[in-house]
Amino acid sequence: KTGLEGYNTDAYGFQESIKPLLQGANHTHALILGTGGASLAIAYSLEKLGIAYVKVSRNPREDQLSYPDLGKEEMEKYTLIVNCTPLGTFPRVEDKPLIPYTYLGSGHVLYDLVYNPEKTAFLKAGEGQGATICNGSSMLKFQADKSWEIWQK
């Protein structure tokens, strides 16, 4: 081989960590909160899992939603919600994405890529409505495992 070779473990880490949360449920539509680099890996993973998604942005493009666009109908349709924003990270732990949490229920899964604090304001708000929640620590572990595997080649 010649040239450079690169790897991205974000997609692998997310995909492996979300699978247990999807078992026995029919999550066919997801909201990806944020449009930065991490959202690309999440979108790729959701495609591989056969889950349709829409990205939500403060400054949406034509194929995206804005936070004010989210209402009861959208929240009922999109039962998997993945936070790819830095909102809620230390030291601004009280910050969370501006979604209508009142429309969440036990049929929702909220996944936050943030893992410090362990339970972000986003996850607390979802949990308060009965949603299943997960932070990014398991994703980080799967990423580390994959990185180790890559380096052992």
Indicate which CATH number applies to the domain containing 35. 3.40.50.720
State pLDDT tens for residues 56-67: 999 999 999 999
Domain that holds residue 45: 23-151
What local confidence, expressed as pLDDT, does residue 24 receive? 75
Asked whether residue 50 is domain-assigned, the answer is yes
Determine the 3-state secondary structure of 31 from DSSP. Answer: strand
Q: What are the Cα distances from residue 33, in Å, to 39, 64, 65, 84, 153?
A: 8, 10, 10, 5, 35
pLDDT digits (tens, 9 = 90+) for 97-123: 999 999 999 999 999 999 999 999 999
* Residue 131 resides in a domain: yes
Residue 28 within a domain: yes
Is residue 97 assigned to a domain? Answer: yes
Q: How high is the pLDDT of residue 26?
A: 86
Q: How far apart are CA 63 and CA 1, in angstroms?
A: 39
Domain membership flag for residue 39: yes
pLDDT value, residue 152: 87
Query: Distance between alpha carbon 31 and the CA centroid of its chain, in Å?
Result: 8
**37 inside domain:** yes
Q: Look at the chain and report how many structural domains it folds into.
A: 1
pTM: 0.93
Asked whether residue 38 is assigned to any structural domain, the reply reads yes
What pLDDT is stored for residue 17 in this prediction?
96
Q: What is the pLDDT of residue 1?
A: 63
